[in-house]
Amino acid sequence: MRLFLLFITNVLALFVLHAAELPQHDQQMHMGVASCAASMCHGSIISRTGSNVLQNEYIIWSREDAHAQAYQTLLSAQSKKIADKLGLDHAATAGVCLDCHSDNVAVEYQSKKFQISDGVGCESCHGGAEHYISSHTDAKQSHQANIAHGLYPTDQPQQRAKLCLSCHLGNKDKQATHDIMGAGHPRLSFELDTFGILQPLHYVIDADYKRKKWVGDSYITWIYGQLAANRQTLNTLEDKLVNTNTLFPELSLFDCYACHHLMSDLKWTEVKGKGAKPGTVRLNDGHFKMLIAIAASTQALTPLHQHLSVMRNSLHDKAQLSTVITKLLADIKTIEEAITKLTLAQRKLSASLILSKILTIGSKDEFSDYIAAEQAVMAIDLLIDYIGISKRYQQDIADLFDIVNHDEKYNSLLFAEKLREINNKMALQK
């Protein structure tokens, strides 16, 4: 009964917290990393026993987490070149850079200890600590009370995805645009579960954590990350392609490699074109292809296919594009509701169906673009492990990662061949 109540609480929390404000705009005073770094707070050299947190979170962040160096990156020679090309005085003072390389809150929400040079620090993810800095050390305070005091609910996968993707994918307020990438900024790549696992953890999912916070698994975290990425992409498409009067669309929303290749290297194929004529610039639809795979385990697959097809052919028609984006957002909601209701046993079956769909469409060279292939490899790795058959496919997974190791050397035919091999291997073992 207790486990059932915990499950219901976690599900309800996903919806109650849906509108949590991102830390950069939470209108809470940000106290600065120094406020968390004392040895009796989160700055202990080693983890402490007898505490419900490790207390060495600051040390892990400062020594092992790349986020701690995000601001310092803006002082590099490469960043100087990018800033010069964009006509900026200095990357370390430009809001467009600081928005993702630091905790760039408005001046009126910066305390005396706050330093923009801390980079992506504690409050960049956990929210302004003005009100929870005292309450979150009180064992009598519930997690929900701390959230009410301004703590951002990073334990919730939907909210974590919204936060991470705001920089690693972009949203209406900030984005690594085509201009920025054209000036030399690296292409962004992100998948919530994989990147979360690669992150140096500064917390332990123990009994206390499970009692207070949302607890899921890699599969459901991946699902929520993909759904959030698709929502965010659709919202950005509407903002940049529909709600704009500029001469050229925001090109970062399109497949980079549709244009960036030798003229003699003909990239267009029937599969890539999707009914469009040769020379058409295609959308960057890597996350959309993962959405199709996820929908394969729900009733939303047919309408989703139809709506995505309409969207791809409506990029020149703002009214039609706006209408179909609304329909796609509704499709995502339907998929999310279906996934949320699954039991643990049903999740295993759902994961198998999604894996099968990825392998099937991939075998037909549907992942001919690198970005979709990259997402597919991370998904296949996760799903095979979740289903419990990873030992049989260790070399196959290694081969897949080798194929997508370098975007400019990516061979889509080799990738499709490898997926067919894995698909056939699985069919024989059923």
Digit-coded pLDDT (tens) for 319-357: 999 999 999 999 999 999 999 899 988 999 999 999 999
The mean of the pLDDT values for the chain is 90
Distance between terminal CA atoms of the chain? 36
- In this prediction, residues 113-134 reach a mean pLDDT of 96
The one-letter amino acid at 384: I
Q: Is the pLDDT of residue 390 over 90?
A: yes
Digit-coded pLDDT (tens) for 271-317: 655 656 777 778 889 999 999 999 998 999 999 999 999 999 998 89
Residue 262 confidence class, pLDDT cut points 50, 70, 90: confident
Residue 30 pairs in a beta bridge with 110
The one-letter amino acid at 385: D
Count of alpha carbons within 13 angstroms of residue 294, beta-carbon side:
31
Please state the three-class secondary structure of the chain as a single string. Answer: CHHHHHHHHHHHHHHHCCCCCCHHHCCCCECCHHHCCCCCCCCCCCCCCCCCCCCCHHHHHHHHCHHHHHHHHCCCHHHHHHHHHHCCCCHHHCHHHHHHHCCCCCHHHECCCCCHHHCCCHHHHHCCCCCHHHHCCCCCCCHHHHHHCCCCCCCCHHHHHHHHHHHHCCCCCCCCCHHHHHCCCCCCCCCHHHHHHHCCCCCCCCHHHHHHCCCCCHHHHHHHHHHHHHHHHHHHHHHHHHCCCCCCCCHHHECHHHCCCCCCCCCCCHHHHCCCCCCCCCECCHHHHHHHHHHCCCCCHHHHHHHHHHHHCCCCCHHHHHHHHHHHHHHHHHHHHHHHCCCHHHHHHHHHHHHHHHHHHHHCCCCCCHHHHHHHHHHHHHHHHHHCCHHHHHHHHHHHHHHCCCHHHCCHHHHHHHHHHHHHHHHHCC
User: Which of 351, 26, 20, 338 has the alpha carbon at shortest distance from 160?
Assistant: 20
- Residue 177, pLDDT score: 94
CB 9 within 8 A of CB 22: no
- Residue 65, pLDDT score: 96
More confident residue, 278 or 182: 182
Q: Is the pLDDT of residue 9 over 70?
A: no
Q: Is the pLDDT of residue 269 over 80?
A: no
User: What are the structural domain ranges in the chain?
Assistant: 2-215, 219-428
Q: Is the pLDDT of residue 249 over 50?
A: yes
CB 97 within 8 A of CB 91: yes
Residue 203 pairs in a beta bridge with none
| CATH no. for 2-215 | 1.10.1130
The tokens describing 77, both together, are: 């020679």
Digit-coded pLDDT (tens) for 373-386: 999 999 999 999 99
- Residue 14, pLDDT score: 44
- In this prediction, residues 116-121 reach a mean pLDDT of 97
CB 129 within 8 A of CB 41: no
- Residue 126, pLDDT score: 97
